Structure 1
């Protein structure tokens, strides 16, 4: 591999965007899209990317099993763990770790008041939590374990010939139309 190709591999691992990796590696912005696609077809580039991903996985201890375990823990997390026996939201520091690591996207606290001006007193508060997309996690698990529950590509045969027949029919109809 050339030094430029090695830089491409390094840059590709940052965001898995071949076009941007090509630009950052020094290829022309004008042709970066084509260059990135071509580089990803070269066996030595593919091998270098795979080897670098493997090394990174070893360093971080993050692999497919880790991802699947994490997704399963997140999918199984019980929202009841965020509340006390009286139904009040627990302080964040008391939440189970899995909830503090990204399952909650945000917390909104609104104070409720009675009265006006100086005599206004707080009588309560409303706390709303915004959860991340748990359905997406289950979808990712389904894709990982290949249950095909969320298959994105549907294979349909016979459409090419149907399209050709429709095109011929349109042409026949156009030629039969009076001028």
Structure 2
């Protein structure tokens, strides 16, 4: 009698590669990796063992099809993050601009020609930069069943202009100039007093 051959088992549905060359597990890793760019956690969330997730993540990042799947979105995310950092980055120029806005703030810009307050979203950049806080209160008329909402009371809190002017003066070296002038004046007075003392001796 001939021996029976055992049918060769194929890969399970979970491990079978798709048309793109990735198994569902690998594709899931790529999708998870794009969430936080953490290969270890992405591998764990994709279903890999926590003990081997580190190695699996490292290996999967080198997988050609995985790279093709994550590279465009990763580059886009990196670019967006860099742009956000640049927007938030402190700079001497930006700091001087903000101090100048506070120093030279004109409260008339908060109102229209008819005296009506300008809505916050319509304020120009210079005026908006001077708003340190905004308080909004609902207003009603009547009481009980006759109580009717009639609008909002908005209060702007303006940043301290004097403090900004003081900072601006320090940046421009005005205090330093004043101190030098004061020192020169005091030296001149002392020299005059010394000369009079010497003359009378």
State the TM-score, normalizing by the size of structure 2: 0.38
State the TM-score, normalizing by the size of structure 1: 0.42
